[in-house]
Structure 1
Amino acid sequence: MTHLPYLTPLSPDQQRAFGVLDPWPLAIADRVRFAELDPLNHVNNVAYLIWFESARVTYFKHVGISTYADDAVEPRIVIRRGEIDWLAEMRADEDYVILSKAVAYRTSSFTMQQEIWAGGRKRAAFTCVIVLLQPDGNGRMPIPARILDYFHEFDGVERRVDAP
């Protein structure tokens, strides 16, 4: 395998070379660090949540939901609900790829799926509902049309019947 660039979006070909069967619109690679291990010498469960969060922030920046630079105009982004499946353990020094995409949306919220792949197989999966709030936290913020366009064009989300 060729060098895997860490913390940089991977092309579909790089994803396939790593063992991801069906490339996703956004994939980020990294490596398990010693500090992420538990006493049993495998990755601690909380590390997966941190990895998913880091990939989500990259996704939000990549898509244009938030740059995390202007609290006065950018939405507050909150997780309403999340569900994780730990499918296989991971160990020190393993390379992994985190896949992220939107899979459904409503007016001010969307469902996001994420997966962690290592060694040619899925190791963990996370599904969460993200809600956009007004910058001051006073009520929900509708998902901007440009973000919906991204969901359709790149993530493959089907248009809602009542969507513009």
Structure 2
Amino acid sequence: MTLLYHTPLDAATQTTLGIAPPAPLAMADRVRFSELDALNHVNNAVYMSWFERLRVRYTQDWGVSRYPDGDNNPRIVIRSGTIHYKQEMRMDEDYVVTCGCTAFRTTSFSLAQQIWSGGTLRATLDCVLVLLQPDGTERYPIPPGVRTRFIKIDGAEPYD
């Protein structure tokens, strides 16, 4: 199987790669030399970059942010996050980062992200994102179309 990098992977491809259940958004890449530390495995900080890269794509694709267009985009900030490192990764490993909303409120939502390689879960990140007005002074409501997408595509549930 030829793995396409930087291209959203469909549910069937994710399943073939051992990702269960498939995520609403998943993209593949390969570990680069520059991402290794002195112990010759992926530096812990790099996982956060991988998660962020897909999280930005997710917010764009789902319509949360229209970055870089216009000045009316909400500020998206991480309120909290918990990362779990499950197994180290090394040079030239293919990996897949996944992302999906698990729950949402009026101005915030929870994301579950994972990194998979060789059919094995390597790291997870659970985080809460808050939307703020462009000037950062107050909260920004999640648009109705995004809320609908969270429910229909991600299977997320509103919580209050």
Question: Which TM-score applies when normalising by structure 1?
Answer: 0.94
What secondary structure, in the 3-state scheme, does the structure 2 residue paired with 1:143 have?
Answer: coil
Counterpart position of 1:75: 74
Q: Please tell me whether the aligned partners of residues 43 and 90 of structure 1 are also in contact (alpha carbons under 8 angstroms).
A: yes
Q: CA RMSD in A?
A: 1.1
Counterpart position of 2:47: 48
Aligned-pair identity (%): 52
What secondary structure, in the 3-state scheme, does the structure 1 residue paired with 2:80 have?
Answer: strand
1:33 to 2:37 alignment: no
| Unaligned segments of structure 2, at least 5 residues | none
State how far apart, in whole Å, the 2-side matches of 1:57 and 1:85 are. Answer: 20
Q: Please tell me whether the aligned partners of residues 116 and 123 of structure 1 are also in contact (alpha carbons under 8 angstroms).
A: yes
Letter in 2 for 1:103: T
State how far apart, in whole Å, the 1-side matches of 2:157 and 2:58 are. Answer: 19
Counterpart position of 1:154: 153
What secondary structure, in the 3-state scheme, does the structure 2 residue paired with 1:130 have?
Answer: strand
Q: Please tell me whether the aligned partners of residues 71 and 135 of structure 1 are also in contact (alpha carbons under 8 angstroms).
A: no
State how far apart, in whole Å, the 2-side matches of 1:79 and 1:140 are. Answer: 13
1:16-52, Cα deviation, whole Å (9 max, x unpaired) = 1111121111101111000000111100000000000
1:109-131, Cα deviation, whole Å (9 max, x unpaired) = 11111000001110000011100
How many positions carry a matched residue from both structures? 160
State how far apart, in whole Å, the 1-side matches of 2:50 and 2:9 are. Answer: 16
Q: Please tell me whether the aligned partners of residues 105 and 158 of structure 2 are also in contact (alpha carbons under 8 angstroms).
A: no
1:138 to 2:134 alignment: no
Moved over 2 A (4+): none
Letter in 2 for 1:148: R
Q: Please tell me whether the aligned partners of residues 104 and 157 of structure 2 are also in contact (alpha carbons under 8 angstroms).
A: no
Question: Which TM-score applies when normalising by structure 2?
Answer: 0.96
